[in-house]
């Protein structure tokens, strides 16, 4: 069974909260780049860490962008809900899609 949009929204919300607790700002912008599509990622603007996400990407892509950015931080001293910590520990790009496929095999 595939994850519902609600479960994905919950995961997205938890990742956004984690970024906020780390002092990392998140910006959702419509990113236009001539000739290609840019989904987003972690960057530093005026010394401040920021995750910029193309507002046109899917929830799954937003989760991937946030997870990829957040695992680059030292999370060992930060309280993270156990399920979210497990997700981040096992994270690799496309992980959410794999998890959905595995649930469908039940």
Structure confidence at residue 1 (pLDDT)? 32
Mean pLDDT by 10 residues, the chain (106 residues): 66 96 94 77 93 93 95 92 91 60 51
Q: Which CATH topology does 5-100 take?
A: Zincin-like (3.30.2010)
Residues 6+ positions from 32 with CB-CB distance below 8 Å? none
pLDDT of residue 2: 42
Contact 70, 19 (CB under 8 A): yes
At residue 60, the pLDDT reads 92
pLDDT value for 81: 92
pLDDT at site 104:
53
Q: What is the pLDDT of residue 97?
A: 53
Taking residue 88's Cβ as centre, other Cβ atoms within 10 Å add up to 19
Angle between helices 59-70 and 95-104 (to 10 degrees): 120
Give the domain ranges of the chain: 5-100
User: Could you give the 3-state DSSP secondary structure of residue 16?
Assistant: helix
């Amino acid at each position: 069974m595939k994850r519902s949009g609600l479960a994905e929204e919950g995961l997205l919300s938890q990742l956004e909260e984690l970024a906020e607790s780390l002092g990392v700002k998140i910006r959702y912008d419509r990113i236009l780049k001539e000739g290609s599509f840019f989904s987003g990622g972690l960057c530093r603007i005026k010394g401040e860490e920021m995750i910029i996400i193309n507002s046109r990407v899917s929830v799954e892509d937003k989760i991937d962008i946030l997870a990829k950015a957040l695992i680059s931080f030292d999370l060992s001293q930060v309280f993270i809900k156990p399920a979210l910590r497990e997700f981040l520990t096992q994270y690799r790009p496309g992980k959410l899609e794999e998890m959905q496929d595995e649930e469908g095999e039940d």
